[in-house]
Every structure is written in structure tokens, then in C-alpha cells.
């Protein structure tokens, strides 16, 4: 059987060895000490992993279109030299790299650039605090030239190609869309005039770089904005770009301000490939599909079915720099799969921090965390096989220690086993699979259904212990909390408690949100059948929800004001919207009076009210389960990590991070 994804592909004048592109991502290393060196090492490692082509994070072509100095820039000649470090490192590693030419338009960070942001029309983006100024025709002309100058600098810096950023709601996309372009001159009005800016940019860049240099255009395949560019116009724009001479089309989905999730975990894998497919049918140049592609077997299927010529993956290269190399060798089980959680990548970037990865916290800390073999190989016990313990065991074993991991349940995973049951969170299965494979390969001994005690660990001759025993659910002091229909969240996830039709959850944090999803949506429709039913209009979206609904009525109750605290910025809104669509009611700023056989009596602004429930689930936080740690202190060198150290919300990110840290400390 011939694999399509490993077939070389011609992108204009450039031949790529395979059909995997590492999509543009801003990782924020620029702001660190030795930022450029770090970026160079970061890209070089991905290049050594055999990816076909890397695209950098966006490099601003002019000051007002950028995000400030903590981001990549290419608008001055002095920007060329540092970029050379990146291209040299990637070439040394045997890879190819394209510079992304970027202008944020109304998404620009005005505070960071120090100059007023500009856009086709003076319309403020809902996700930006500043209103942009309308560009005048002379500025438009100059900006087109800025793209061309940026491309020339890219050549001087040694890049193999450029990608023009025309999607995601940035400047070029803002010109194309009637939502953001209200101009009445030569640059706005009808479709031809709205398209003109993007086409002119493409043409000018192509002229600047000449025929021997590939120009990729990242176009928006679907804006996911009400009243924006139609599919017909999008296809027309693709044909115009082909005519203008671009080498390939990379298809982006959704604007940053769009209300439809595009890369969250809940988006089914490959859900947007159909958009690239439509564009592919309209042009002859290569078309690149993106969004929620995280497995090369899936990439193979997409390309083999002729739905796109190439795939773009971005975050999967954070989770595993060697995803391409491993997949090519058929080692799919060894890939640390990106689970699309956004918790350490996008959420960090939106918080102004450096990107990392939840399942691979080495990202962003490569220099500090280079793995060194242990000086002395010790017998180490890791107690608890949740994410913290798993990562600790993996790293310890990799460094040459002899590791035994104890787990009191009959399977590894700890709270990952809760998350992976939640509809839309199935990707957590991949993390579990990765750890299983790793522990096995590294010879970690796994002892299930074993509760280790201080005495047993000492008796067995362990030299050091990592306590990763997780948390004990908290039992709030509410009258009636001992009634038989009151259960703790862990028992529901572990299927040890029966849950009725009417449910009240005491608590409204991340765990309560997960529980609600699990309880209302327990007849999931597969993404394939969902798409089929929707495409053929057999069911509309509302009917789909009803069909997949368990029929349960769920109330989430909280003393405080906010629901879903602890969820990341990039996901919280989508999770809450989803819960609301499923009829979950969120009642906040209340006091608990009593739990009775009928439900929960709450006080809401002095009014007493009964929330009827057959089952009351307590999800009101947890306390560290650290008794083993205390029992061992002074008897053996002992470390405590994860929930056993600090019981926050479900926090796999911190758990894995602390596991990785302790794994390097012994
Ligand atoms: Fe993927 Fe989550 Fe890692 Fe981001 S943090 S790269 S979404 S696994």
C-alpha cells in the first residue's frame, strides 16, 4: 500500500520531502533571554523530526500591524540578522522553513507597538480594547509594499519560502470581509474591490521574490462570522490567488473573535477538512488542510481520499517534536499526542506568557530541562499513577532509575480517567496510551490495586519516594450531606454511584462542568453521523442536541459568582455555551440551607428555594491526600507532587509539570 503522506510534493519551485507542514504558531520565546537562540533550537528540533516544512509564527511587516517587540518582526533591516540564526539552525537539521508575513490590522496590540492600529474601516474588534483608525489610500499602498519588503528580507534571512497571513481575521481577511470593510473607494464595496488588497499583496510579494521562491497564501476558508464572505466568494478568491501566481493555499478556519470553536478539544478531529476540500476542487495548486489534525494516520486518510494535498498541524509539534519521524517509523503508540486542551499553549499566550505544552512541559524550558542521566541509579517508588506520578515515573526511568509505580485503582491514569469519559474530551485517552507505552518501554514496574504504606516501602528497600497520591474530595458542611442520595464526584466518575434524572451539583468549577457534560450527554452521536445528519438536513442542530441528550436535568450550584473557574480563557466560553445549550442551569451567589430527600434548599437573595434533585453530587473542591508523605518524612527522602501537594481544581497541567520537575531532581 502506497502512503500518500510520505510522497514528496512540489510547492511552486520548492520540493518538499513529505506532506506535513508545521503550521504557524506564536510561542513567545522572543521575550526570553536568548529568545532567538531558543527559537532557533525549537525549530531545529522540529526540523530534525522530519517535518516537510515549518512556518514561523507571524512576523509583522510594519510596526502598526504587529504585536510589539515580544513578537517576531520583519519590518526593519536589522530584523534580518537574528532571523538568520533560525534559518541556519533549521537547515543544519535538514529542514525547510517559511517566514509568515503578518499584519494584524485591528487585532494589533496598540500598547505593545506604541502606535495606533489601523484597519480597512474604523471598526473595533470585540477582542481588542482599541478602535483602529481607517487606512487612507496612501497607507494601503505603503502596506502592500511592506509585505513585499518583508518577503525580500525573508530571502536575505535565508528562508525557503514565505506564507502571507490572510486568514484568522487579520488585516487581509479584514479587507476581504464585508463585516470589517465598509469602504466605498477602490479598496472596498463590492467583492472585487474587497478582494483587491489581498490579491495586490500576493502579486507584489511574488514580484519581489521572483519566480524561484515559493509564496504560500494562508486564506480563510470559513470566517465563522455572521454576514461575512460567502463560500462562493471564498472559492472565487482562491481562484484569483492561483491566477496571481501563489504556490499553494493553506486554509485557515475562523476568526479569533468567532463564536464557533475551531481548535478546541470538543471540535471533532478533521472537522473542517471539508472546507479545504471545496477549495481544492476549485484550484489546481496544492491545498493544505488544517484544524484539529493530530494524527498522521488521519492525515494519510485525508490526502489519500484526495481531500487536500498536504496537512498543517501546529500544536501537535509542541506535544511531540518527533511526531513525523515516529509516525513514519510506524511508532504511532509512542507519539505524545496533542489533546487540543490549549491549557499551556494558547492560554499561556493569551495571558502574555511563553507557550508550553500540558503533555510536554519541556516546551519553553528546553535549555533548563535538558535531560541528564542520573549520577546514581536508585530504586525509586512513585505512589499514585495519575498524571503527576506517570510523568515522574517516565522521566525517572528515562534517566536510568529503577522505578516502581503503585496505584490503588485497577488502572493507571488517576483523574485522567475522569476527563476521558467526558464527551468531547476523548483525546485524554491518547495521553493515557502514551504513558502506558512509555512506562512499558522504559521498564517501569506497574503495581495496580496496591496501596503502598510507609512501612512497606521502607521494608522493600526503596531509596527515594515520590508521593503523587492525589486528593480527597471535600465534604462541605451542609445539613443533610450524609443522606443516601448525596454522592461525591469521584464516585460518579468511577461509576460507583447511581445518578437519577434530576441532579443538583454542589460546586460549579471545572469538575462540575465535566460532570454536567457527562450527565446530560450520555448518548453521544459520533461526529461522522452528526455531520451526515446535518449535511442532509435530516436533523437540525437543535434536534441533534435533543437526540444526544440523556434527558437529565442538571443544576450547578455555587456560592460564588463565577462558573467554570479554573478553565482556560480559550475554552471556558465554549464549555459554558455548550452546557447552556444542553439545558444545564447555573445558579450562583447562593447559600446552602439544607439537603433534603427532595433536593437542595438554597437561599437566593433572601429567598428560599428548593432545587429538586434525585441525586445530589458534591463537587466542592478537595484536600491534599498527603498522609503517606507525612508518614515518610524523616524516614526516607520523599517528594510530594500534584494534588497531594496542593489540591486545586483538576489540574493535569500542574500535575505533569511537577512530575517532570521531580523526575529531574532525583
Ligand atoms: Fe496540545 Fe494542550 Fe499541548 Fe497545547 S497544551 S499543544 S493543546 S496538548
With a 6 Å cutoff on the Cβ, whether 219 touches ligand 1 is no
With a 6 Å cutoff on the Cβ, whether 339 touches ligand 1 is yes
pLDDT at 661 exceeding the cut of 60: yes
Residue with CA at minimum distance from ligand 1 atom 3: 357
What is the distance between the alpha carbons of residues 87 and 46, in angstroms, rounded to a whole number? 13
With a 6 Å cutoff on the Cβ, whether 397 touches ligand 1 is no
Radius of gyration of the chain (CA): 27
Q: Which of 261, 340, 346, 425 to mutate to test the pocket of ligand 1 (most atoms within 8 A of CB)?
A: 340
> Which residues are the active-site residues?
170
Q: How far is CA 228 from CA 103, 125, 130, 151, 234, in A?
A: 20, 14, 22, 29, 10
Q: What is the pLDDT of residue 113?
A: 93
Q: How confident is the model at residue 527 (pLDDT cuts 50, 70, 90)?
A: low
SS3 sequence, 44-64? HHHHHCCCCEEEEEEEECCHH
pLDDT at 631 exceeding the cut of 70: yes
Ligand 1 atom at minimal distance to the Cα of residue 653: 5
What is the distance between the alpha carbons of residues 75 and 89, in angstroms, rounded to a whole number? 22
Q: Which of 357, 391, 433 to mutate to test the pocket of ligand 1 (most atoms within 8 A of CB)?
A: 357
Minimum mean pLDDT range among 161-165, 449-453, 573-577: 573-577
pLDDT in tens, 37-93: 999 999 999 999 999 999 999 999 999 999 998 899 999 999 999 999 999 999 999
- The predicted model gives 618-642 an average pLDDT of 95
Please report, rounded to a whole number, the percentage of residues in the chain having pLDDT higher than 70.
Answer: 97
- Could you count the other beta carbons within 10 Å of the beta carbon of residue 197? 26
pLDDT in tens, 374-422: 999 999 999 999 999 999 999 999 999 999 999 999 999 999 999 999 8
Please report, rounded to a whole number, the percentage of residues in the chain having pLDDT higher than 90.
Answer: 80
Ligand 1 atom at minimal distance to the Cα of residue 263: 7
Q: What is the pLDDT of residue 99?
A: 98
With a 6 Å cutoff on the Cβ, whether 359 touches ligand 1 is yes
Residue with CA at minimum distance from ligand 1 atom 8: 338
- The predicted model gives 631-649 an average pLDDT of 92
What is the distance between the alpha carbons of residues 332 and 189, in angstroms, rounded to a whole number? 50
Ligand 1 atom at minimal distance to the Cα of residue 356: 5
Ligand 1 centroid distance, CA of 291 (Å) = 13
Q: What is the pLDDT of residue 649?
A: 65
With a 6 Å cutoff on the Cβ, whether 315 touches ligand 1 is yes
With a 6 Å cutoff on the Cβ, whether 294 touches ligand 1 is no
Question: Between these two residues, 367 and 455, which has the higher pLDDT value?
Answer: 455
Ligand 1 centroid distance, CA of 649 (Å) = 18
What is the distance between the alpha carbons of residues 88 and 93, in angstroms, rounded to a whole number? 9
In 3D space, the residue among 484, 473, 386 whose CA is nearest the CA of residue 431 turns out to be 386
Q: How confident is the model at residue 550 (pLDDT cuts 50, 70, 90)?
A: confident
Mean pLDDT of the chain: 93
CB distance 636 to 404 below 8 Å: no
Q: What is the pLDDT of residue 524?
A: 59
What is the distance between the alpha carbons of residues 92 and 457, in angstroms, rounded to a whole number? 49
Q: What is the pLDDT of residue 563?
A: 85
Question: What is the sign of the dihedral through the CA atoms of 7, 9, 14 and 20?
Answer: negative
Q: At what angle do helices 428-441 and 387-398 cross, to 10 degrees?
A: 30
What is the distance between the alpha carbons of residues 121 and 653, in angstroms, rounded to a whole number? 41
Q: What is the ipTM of this complex?
A: 1.00
Map residue 395 onto helix, strand or coil: helix
With a 6 Å cutoff on the Cβ, whether 343 touches ligand 1 is yes
With a 6 Å cutoff on the Cβ, whether 403 touches ligand 1 is no
What is the distance between the alpha carbons of residues 93 and 43, in angstroms, rounded to a whole number? 9
Q: What is the pLDDT of residue 548?
A: 66
pLDDT at 1 exceeding the cut of 60: no
pLDDT at 568 exceeding the cut of 60: yes
Minimum mean pLDDT range among 112-121, 173-182, 484-493, 518-527: 518-527
CB distance 442 to 398 below 8 Å: yes
- The residues that bridge with 285 in the sheet, in sequence order, are none
- Could you count the other beta carbons within 10 Å of the beta carbon of residue 408? 16
Phi, psi values for residue 416, rounded to 5° = -60, -30
- The residues that bridge with 220 in the sheet, in sequence order, are 252
DSSP 107: G
- Could you count the other beta carbons within 10 Å of the beta carbon of residue 243? 12
Give alpha helix (H) positions in 618-651: 627-632
Q: Which of 25, 263, 291, 344 to mutate to test the pocket of ligand 1 (most atoms within 8 A of CB)?
A: 344
With a 6 Å cutoff on the Cβ, whether 619 touches ligand 1 is no
- The predicted model gives 136-163 an average pLDDT of 98
- Those residues with Cβ within 8 angstroms of residue 130's Cβ, 6 or more apart along the chain or in another chain: 110, 116, 117, 124
Amino acid at each position: 500500500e502506497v502512503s500518500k503522506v510520505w510522497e514528496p510534493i512540489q510547492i511552486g519551485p520548492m520540493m518538499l520531502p513529505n506532506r506535513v507542514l508545521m503550521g504557524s504558531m506564536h510561542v513567545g520565546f522572543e521575550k526570553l533571554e536568548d529568545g532567538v537562540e531558543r527559537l532557533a533550537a525549537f525549530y531545529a528540533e522540529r526540523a530534525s523530526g522530519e517535518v516537510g516544512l515549518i512556518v514561523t509564527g507571524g512576523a509583522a511587516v510594519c510596526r502598526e500591524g504587529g504585536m510589539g517587540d515580544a513578537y517576531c518582526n520583519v519590518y526593519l533591516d536589522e530584523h534580518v540578522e537574528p532571523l538568520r540564526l533560525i534559518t541556519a539552525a533549521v537547515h543544519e537539521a535538514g529542514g525547510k522553513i517559511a517566514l509568515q508575513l503578518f499584519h494584524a490590522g485591528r487585532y494589533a496590540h496598540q500598547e505593545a507597538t506604541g502606535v495606533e492600529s489601523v484597519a480597512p474601516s474604523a471598526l473595533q474588534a470585540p477582542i481588542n480594547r482599541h478602535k483602529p483608525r481607517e487606512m487612507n489610500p496612501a497607507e494601503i499602498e505603503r502596506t502592500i509594499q511592506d509585505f513585499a519588503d518583508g518577503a525580500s528580507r525573508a530571502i536575505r534571512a535565508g528562508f525557503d519560502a514565505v506564507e502571507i497571513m490572510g486568514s484568522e481575521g487579520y488585516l487581509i481577511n479584514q479587507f476581504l470581509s464585508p463585516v470589517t470593510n465598509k469602504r466605498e473607494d477602490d479598496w472596498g464595496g463590492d467583492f472585487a474591490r474587497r478582494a483587491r488588497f489581498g490579491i495586490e499583496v500576493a502579486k507584489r510579494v511574488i514580484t519581489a521574490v521572483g519566480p524561484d521562491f515559493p509564496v504560500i497564501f494562508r486564506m480563510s476558508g470559513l470566517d465563522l462570522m455572521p454576514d461575512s464572505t460567502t463560500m462562493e466568494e471564498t472559492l472565487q478568491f482562491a481562484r484569483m490567488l492561483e491566477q496571481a501566481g501563489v504556490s499553494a493555499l493553506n486554509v485557515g478556519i475562523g476568526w479569533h473573535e468567532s463564536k464557533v470553536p475551531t481548535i478546541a478539544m470538543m471540535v471533532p478531529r478533521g472537522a473542517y477538512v471539508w472546507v479545504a476540500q471545496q477549495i481544492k476542487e476549485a484550484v489546481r495548486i496544492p491545498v493544505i488542510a488544517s484544524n484539529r489534525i493530530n494524527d498522521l494516520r488521519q492525515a494519510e486518510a485525508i490526502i489519500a481520499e484526495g481531500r487536500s494535498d498536504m496537512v498543517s498541524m501546529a500544536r501537535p509539534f509542541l506535544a511531540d517534536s518527533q511526531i513525523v519521524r515516529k509516525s513514519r517509523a510506524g511508532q504511532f503508540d509512542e507519539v505524545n499526542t496533542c489533546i487540543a486542551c490549549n491549557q499551556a499553549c494558547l492560554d499561556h499566550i493569551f495571558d502574555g506568557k511563553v507557550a508550553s505544552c500540558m503533555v510536554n512541559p519541556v516546551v519553553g524550558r528546553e535549555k533548563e530541562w535538558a535531560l541528564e542521566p542520573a549520577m546514581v541509579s536508585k530504586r525509586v517508588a512513585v505512589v499514585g499513577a495519575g498524571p503527576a506520578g506517570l510523568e515522574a515515573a517516565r522521566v525517572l526511568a528515562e534517566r536510568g532509575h529503577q522505578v516502581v509505580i503503585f496505584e490503588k485503582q485497577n488502572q493507571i491514569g488517576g483523574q485522567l480517567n475522569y476527563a476521558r469519559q467526558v464527551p468531547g474530551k476523548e483525546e485524554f485517552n491518547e495521553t493515557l496510551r502514551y504513558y502506558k507505552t512509555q512506562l512499558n518501554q522504559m521498564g517501569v514496574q506497574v503495581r495496580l490495586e496496591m496501596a503502598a504504606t510507609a512501612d512497606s516501602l521502607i521494608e522493600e528497600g526503596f531509596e527515594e519516594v515520590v508521593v503523587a497520591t492525589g486528593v480527597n474530595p471535600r465534604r462541605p458542611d451542609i445539613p443533610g450531606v450524609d443522606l443516601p442520595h448525596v454522592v461525591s464526584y469521584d464516585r460518579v466518575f468511577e461509576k460507583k454511584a447511581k445518578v437519577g434524572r434530576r441532579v443538583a451539583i454542589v460546586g460549579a468549577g471545572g469538575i462540575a462542568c465535566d460532570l454536567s457534560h457527562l450527565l446530560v450527554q450520555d448518548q453521544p452521536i459520533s461526529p461522522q453521523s452528526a455531520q451526515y445528519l446535518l449535511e442532509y438536513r435530516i436533523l437540525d442542530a437543535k434536534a441533534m442536541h435533543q437526540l444526544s441528550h440523556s434527558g437529565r436535568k442538571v443544576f450547578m450550584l455555587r456560592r460564588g459568582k463565577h462558573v467554570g473557574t479554573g478553565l482556560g480563557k480559550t475554552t471556558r466560553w465554549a464549555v459554558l455555551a455548550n452546557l447552556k445549550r444542553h439545558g444545564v442551569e447555573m445558579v450562583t451567589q447562593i447559600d446552602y440551607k439544607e439537603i433534603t430527600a427532595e433536593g437542595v434548599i438554597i437561599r437566593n437573595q433572601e429567598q428560599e428555594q428548593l432545587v429538586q434533585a434525585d441525586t445530589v453530587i458534591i463537587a466542592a473542591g478537595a484536600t491534599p491526600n498527603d498522609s503517606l508523605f507525612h508518614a515518610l518524612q524523616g524516614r526516607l527522602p520523599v517528594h510530594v507532587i500534584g494534588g497531594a501537594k496542593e489540591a486545586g481544581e483538576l489540574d493535569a497541567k500542574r500535575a505533569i509539570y511537577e512530575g517532570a520537575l521531580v523526575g529531574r531532581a532525583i
